[in-house]
């Protein structure tokens, strides 16, 4: 009987659910986003085989995109990566039986730490962009 | 919040499988819990309403329903604590509905049995001495033995919803409960039985089971502890060679 | 109802939690790898490694080549194992799980072989 079977949309209905469910939903979502980007990244890097001029042209085009929208996407990707990493550390600790009683506090502490690191990263990466060395 | 009546909206399913919603007004001064509201409806407003209940005091685990989108025991949910006069009662998710609020729990108990939830002894049949247990030994598994098999954790778990083979929080917690019991000697059989892709591997620690558990069993952390047990079992199997 | 009872929670899959452990520990490696990667690709003391020249120069160093090869192997494993878990969670049958598993192993091998060859070719390119 599969009458009651839920669709995968139910993984992302986190209204009236706990913090752990939100963390789980977002972990899943961010993971899929990163896998998508990973293969996109491999595809862009494949252009290395087509020589310097082509590769540099592709990278320059991909860095900003139309109306600089790819820069925005890059920042969003950074959020997703740092979120996934911090929650991943929490999951590993919890799944090994550490800090189970404080998993919500652990979530906030690790995410806050990751977001602080991310802002630091974005600041320095932006400096590199402005100085022209980072495209 | 100001009116004198609660507006109950109940999801119905008749004998022919037709699903509908029925609305009832229940006076506030006649009920305190959602369960009493359902009983009031059945006694005074609509005798065709089907529901399951027994103890009315959160011991039997029969009256699990979804109240305003959250799985709860109807008997221990105080209506005024819902902070709204509109109370939507539906059968719990992830189970087939037989009629109205009554769901088919067969799949739940089938999975529950897979974890061999009983004491297994190597000296089976030898009743010459009692199996003694100190309070400390009892406290090791006491929390996990509070489970009343209501099925709320199964209704809350996102993976049970999409993968109906997944054993689910209640079943895996029962495995840990018996593995931690000092009188038990059957841990390896249980770990063997649940050491599959449908066991602890499907848990991703969303923790919703612990959010809804009425008895504070905390199945999600139980599964993480069990995962470590399965891991040790599998590693020792690797070292010893092929597992029996 | 009926078929749920017949379903076997068999003993076919061994080492399911070993796979979980690999996923968790590869994740921990990736925290380190990602930190290094984001640093060299976007900051690197003001000279990020992004364009052709800098990449070729970087990869011609055998240590960096080894770093990125291991990075590709591990991140691809972690990524595909994660997606496989999501597919498993969708409730595929025991039989299908095996096919899904083989498919992902195939994708993994194809990706890392391609990635390794790509990195080796780029590393052997003489910077113009």
Are A97 and B224 a contacting pair at CB < 8 A? yes
Give me the count of residues in chain B: 244
pLDDT of residue C127: 53
Listed in order, the ranges of chain B carrying CATH 1.10.1060.10 are: 106-240
Residue B243 has pLDDT above 80, yes or no: no
A6-24 pLDDT tens trace: 888 889 888 888 999 999 9
Given CB atoms, is B189 within the 8 Å cutoff of chain C? no
pLDDT of residue B164: 87
Chain A to chain C Cβ contacts (< 8 Å)? 93
Are A32 and C4 a contacting pair at CB < 8 A? no
C-beta separation of A90 from A103 below 8 A: yes
List Cβ<8 Å contacts ≥24 apart for B229-233.
Answer: B229/B176, B229/B179, B229/B187, B229/B191, B230/B191, B230/B194, B230/B195, B230/B199, B230/B200, B230/C16, B230/C17, B231/C17, B231/C18, B231/C20, B231/C21, B233/B188, B233/B191, B233/B192, B233/B195
B117-162 pLDDT tens trace: 999 988 877 778 888 999 999 999 999 999 999 999 999 999 999 9
Are B225 and A97 a contacting pair at CB < 8 A? yes
Decide which of C107 and C123 is more confident.
C107
Sites in chain A below the pLDDT cut of 50: 1
User: Which of B174, B193, B196, B241 is best to mutate for the C interface (most C CBs within 10 A)?
Assistant: B196
Q: Tell the CATH superfamily of the B5-103 domain.
A: Beta-grasp domain (3.10.20.30)
Q: Domains of chain A, with CATH numbers?
A: 17-130 (1.20.1300)
Chain B residues 61-100 within an 8 A CB cutoff of chain A:
68-70, 93-97
- Structural domain boundaries enclosing C55: 15-124
Q: Does a structural domain hold residue C71?
A: yes
Q: How far apart are CA C56 and CA C124, in angstroms?
A: 8
Q: Where does B106-240 sit in CATH, by number?
A: 1.10.1060.10
Q: How far apart are CA B194 and CA A118, in angstroms?
A: 40
CATH code: domain of residue C40? 1.20.1300.10
Q: How far apart are CA B74 and CA B81, in angstroms?
A: 12
pLDDT of residue A60: 85
pLDDT of residue C9: 46
Partners of residue B158 in chain A, C-beta under 8 Å = 6, 10-11, 21, 24
C11-52 pLDDT tens trace: 456 788 899 999 999 999 999 999 999 999 988 877 888 888
Residue of B nearest to A100 (CA): B221
Are C14 and B235 a contacting pair at CB < 8 A? no
Chains with ≥3 CB–CB distances under 8 Å to A: B, C
Number of domains in chain C: 1
pLDDT band at C10, cuts 50/70/90? very low
- Token look-up 């891991």 returns B231
Q: Dump the DSSP string for B133-194.
A: --HHHHHHHHGGGG-----HHHHH-HHHHH-TTS--HHHHHHHHHHHT-TT---HHHHHHHH
pLDDT of residue C93: 87
Q: For the whole model, what pTM was predicted? A: 0.91
Compute the mean pLDDT over every residue in chain C, rounded to the nearest whole number.
Answer: 86
Residue B232 has pLDDT above 50, yes or no: yes
pLDDT band at B242, cuts 50/70/90? low
């Amino acid at each position: 009987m599969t009458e009651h079977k839920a669709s995968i949309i139910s993984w992302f209905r986190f209204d009236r659910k706990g913090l752990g469910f939100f963390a789980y939903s977002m972990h899943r979502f961010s993971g899929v986003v990163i896998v998508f980007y990973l293969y996109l990244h491999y595809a862009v890097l494949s252009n290395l085989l087509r020589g310097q001029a082509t590769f540099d042209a592709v990278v320059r085009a991909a860095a900003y995109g139309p109306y600089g929208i790819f820069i925005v996407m890059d920042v969003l990707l950074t959020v997703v990566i740092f979120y996934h990493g911090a929650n991943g550390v929490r999951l590993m600790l919890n799944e090994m039986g550490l800090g189970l009683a404080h998993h919500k506090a652990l979530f906030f502490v690790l995410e806050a730490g990751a977001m602080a690191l991310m802002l630091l990263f974005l600041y320095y990466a932006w400096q590199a962009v402005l100085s022209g060395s980072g495209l | 919040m100001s009116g004198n009546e609660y507006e109950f909206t109940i999801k119905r399913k008749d004998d022919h499988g037709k699903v509908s919603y029925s609305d009832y007004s229940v006076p506030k001064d006649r009920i305190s819990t959602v369960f009493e509201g359902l009983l009031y409806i059945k006694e005074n407003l609509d005798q065709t309403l089907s529901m399951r209940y027994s103890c009315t005091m959160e011991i039997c685990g029969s009256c699990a329903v979804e109240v305003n989108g959250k799985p709860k025991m109807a008997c221990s949910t105080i209506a005024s604590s819902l902070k709204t006069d509109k109370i939507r009662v539906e059968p719990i998710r992830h189970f087939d509905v037989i009629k109205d609020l009554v769901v088919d729990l067969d799949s739940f108990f089938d999975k529950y049995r897979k974890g061999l939830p009983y004491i297994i002894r190597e000296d089976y049949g030898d009743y010459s001495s009692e199996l003694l247990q100190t309070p400390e030994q009892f406290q090791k598994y006491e929390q996990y033995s509070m489970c009343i098999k209501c099925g709320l954790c199964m209704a809350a778990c996102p993976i049970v919803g999409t993968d109906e083979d997944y054993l689910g929080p209640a079943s895996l917690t029962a495995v840990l409960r018996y593995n931690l019991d000092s009188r038990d000697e059957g841990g390896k059989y249980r770990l063997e039985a649940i050491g599959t892709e449908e066991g602890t591997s499907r848990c991703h620690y969303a923790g919703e089971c612990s959010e809804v558990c009425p008895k504070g069993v905390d199945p999600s952390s139980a599964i993480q502890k069990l995962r470590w047990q399965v891991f040790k079992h599998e590693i020792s199997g690797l070292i010893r060679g092929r597992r029996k | 109802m009926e078929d749920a009872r017949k379903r076997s929670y068999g003993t076919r899959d061994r080492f399911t939690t070993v796979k979980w452990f690999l996923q968790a520990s590869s994740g921990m490696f990736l925290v380190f790898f990602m930190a290094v990667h984001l640093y060299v690709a976007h900051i690197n003391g003001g000279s990020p490694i992004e364009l052709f020249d800098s990449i070729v120069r970087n990869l011609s160093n055998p240590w960096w080549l080894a770093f990125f090869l291991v990075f590709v192997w591990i991140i691809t494993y972690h990524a595909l194992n994660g997606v496989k878990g999501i597919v498993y969670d969708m409730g595929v049958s025991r039989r299908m799980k095996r096919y899904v598993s083989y498919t992902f192993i195939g994708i993994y091998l194809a990706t890392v072989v391609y990635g390794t060859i790509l990195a080796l070719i780029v590393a052997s390119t003489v910077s113009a």
